[in-house]
Amino acid sequence: MKKLKLQNEVFKMFVANYKEWLDILGYAESTVYYLPNHLKEFFHYLEQYNINNINDITTKTVKDYYSYLQQRVNERRSGALSKSYLNKHQQALKKFSEYLKNHNHKGINIHLKSEKQPTEEKLNILTQSEIKQLFRATEFSHSENRFKLRDKAILTVLYSCGLRRNEAVHLDLSDIYFDKERVFVRKGKNYKERFVPINRKNAEILEDYIYEARPEFYNAKATEALFVSQQGKRMQGMSFANRLKAIVQATNNKTIAEKEITLHILRHSIATHLLQQNVPLESIKTFLGHSSLESTQIYTHLLKTIENDGI
C-alpha cells in the first residue's frame, strides 16, 4: 500500500514529520520505514470518507478503519492480513497519537485490542558504557592495525562528532582542523555547513589514523577523502555499516549485538548522552546541524523514555 497517493497536504506533512520523529527517537530502520506507510494508508482511508482534519477523527473512525483492515485482502499473498501485520497498524496509530501529544495536540483515541502480544520496538540507544566497549573493541575488530585505527576513527566521527553517514562519507583530509580542534562538515543535510568541536582525545585518534594508518591504504595519496577503502577510493556508506558490524561483533557483547546498532544510532546516542550531561538544547542543535530546535527537542522525550525503561 506504499504506492497510495495522498491529496491532503497536511496529511503529507504529518507522514513526513512522523517518520523523522521515529528516526530521531532511534527506532529500528524497519519501524521508521513501515509505520509511516501504515499511517499513510490510514490517511488515505480518511480521504475516501472526506475526513481531512485530524480533529474530526473519532473513536468510531479508528474502529471502522480497523474493521476495514481486518477484511482487506493481503496484496502479497492470498487471504487476509496477518495478526502481526494488524498489530503493526495499531502500533502506527498509537505512536502517531503519542507524536501528536508530544507536539501539543490532544492526540487521537486508539481503543483497539491487540491481536496478540504487542510487538513494540525497543529503542536502540547505546549507553555510555556500551560506547566505551565499542571503542575498546576496535583493538580486535581486524587483524591489521591500519583497519583497527580506521575503525576507531570511524567511531569518532560518527559518535563523538555526531555526524550523519553521508557527512562522514564526504569528509576530506582538509576538513580536520587540528589547530582549532574543529571538524568542518560541508555535506550536511540540505547542504548546510557547520563546524563540530573535537577534544584532545578525539584529535589524537584522528591523528593516529591519518598519519599512521591512512598512508598504508592503496593509492591513498591520490584522493582527498579522509576515509579510504582497500581499493584506494572514498569509503561509501555500506562500507561504514560493515565496519560497524565488525566492531559490534568484536565486543562479544550479546546485549549490544541484539540492539542491531546502525550508523545513525551512534548519532542518536551522542545526542542523548549530551542531554544527560545537561548540555543546552541550543548547543546540541548546533552540534547536530538541525535546522530547527523542534527536531532537537525530540531527544528530551527520548531521554524520559530511557529513564523510565531504566536504560
| Residue 46, CA distances (Å) to 6, 28, 61, 65, 303 in order | 10, 27, 8, 9, 33
Active site residue 44: no
* Counted domains in the chain: 2
Task: Report the interhelical angle of 237-251 vs 145-155 (nearest 10°).
Answer: 100
Q: Which of 267, 268, 273, 285 is catalytic?
A: 267
Give CA–CA dist 281/285, Å, rounded. 6
Give the domain CATH number at 236. Answer: 1.10.443.10
Give me the mean pLDDT over the 4-29 stretch.
Answer: 88
Q: Which has more pLDDT, 292 or 240?
A: 240
pLDDT over 60 (residue 7): yes
Is residue 170 one of the residues assigned to a domain? yes
**What does the pLDDT look like over 273-295, one tens digit per residue?**
999 999 999 999 999 988 777 77
Residue 225: strand pairing partners: 172
Is residue 263 one of the residues assigned to a domain? yes
Q: Which of 66, 99, 209, 299 is catalytic?
A: 299
Q: What is the mean pLDDT of the chain?
A: 87
Question: So what's the pLDDT on residue 119?
Answer: 38
Regarding whether 296 and 189 lie in a shared domain, the answer is: yes
**133, 159 Cβ separation under 8 angstroms:** no
The model carries a pTM of: 0.66
User: Which of 34, 24, 22, 99 minimizes the C-alpha distance to 265?
Assistant: 24
Active site residue 83: no
Regarding whether 255 and 200 lie in a shared domain, the answer is: yes
Is residue 106 one of the residues assigned to a domain? no
Q: Which of 44, 182, 264, 301 is catalytic?
A: 264
Question: So what's the pLDDT on residue 85?
Answer: 81
**What does the pLDDT look like over 176-229, one tens digit per residue?**
999 999 999 986 555 678 999 999 999 999 999 999 999 999 999 999 999 999
Question: So what's the pLDDT on residue 191?
Answer: 61
Regarding whether 303 and 205 lie in a shared domain, the answer is: yes
| Residue position matching grid coordinates 540540505 | 190
How many helices (H) and strands (E) in the chain? 13, 3
Is residue 165 one of the residues assigned to a domain? yes
Regarding whether 152 and 97 lie in a shared domain, the answer is: no
Regarding whether 41 and 156 lie in a shared domain, the answer is: no
Is residue 113 one of the residues assigned to a domain? no
Active site residue 301: no
Regarding whether 132 and 95 lie in a shared domain, the answer is: no
Active site residue 186: no
Active site residue 76: no
Residue 14: its H or E element? helix 9-25
Question: So what's the pLDDT on residue 295?
Answer: 75
Is residue 3 one of the residues assigned to a domain? no
CB atoms under 10 Å from CB of 9, counted, come to 9
Residue 209, all three cell numbers: 589514523
Lowest mean pLDDT among 13-17, 148-152, 155-159: 13-17
SS3 224: coil
pLDDT band (50, 70, 90) for residue 78: low
**288, 162 Cβ separation under 8 angstroms:** yes
Domain that holds residue 281: 128-309
**What does the pLDDT look like over 79-120, one tens digit per residue?**
677 777 888 888 899 899 888 888 888 878 777 766 544 334
Q: Which of 189, 192, 221, 304 is catalytic?
A: 189
Residue 254 contacts by C-beta under 8 Å, 6 or more apart in sequence? none
Regarding whether 150 and 36 lie in a shared domain, the answer is: no
pLDDT band (50, 70, 90) for residue 2: low
Regarding whether 144 and 94 lie in a shared domain, the answer is: no
Q: Which of 40, 89, 150, 164 is catalytic?
A: 164
Question: So what's the pLDDT on residue 121?
Answer: 43
Active site residue 164: yes
Give CA–CA dist 266/271, Å, rounded. 9
Give me the mean pLDDT over the 245-258 stretch.
Answer: 95
| Residue position matching grid coordinates 549507553 | 127
Question: So what's the pLDDT on residue 250?
Answer: 97
Is residue 117 one of the residues assigned to a domain? no
> Phi and psi at residue 195, in whole multiples of 5°?
-110, 135
Regarding whether 202 and 54 lie in a shared domain, the answer is: no
Regarding whether 247 and 212 lie in a shared domain, the answer is: yes
Regarding whether 148 and 284 lie in a shared domain, the answer is: yes
Give CA–CA dist 87/84, Å, rounded. 5
pLDDT band (50, 70, 90) for residue 26: confident
pLDDT over 70 (residue 10): yes
Rg (CA), the chain: 22
Lowest mean pLDDT among 24-33, 40-49, 164-173: 24-33
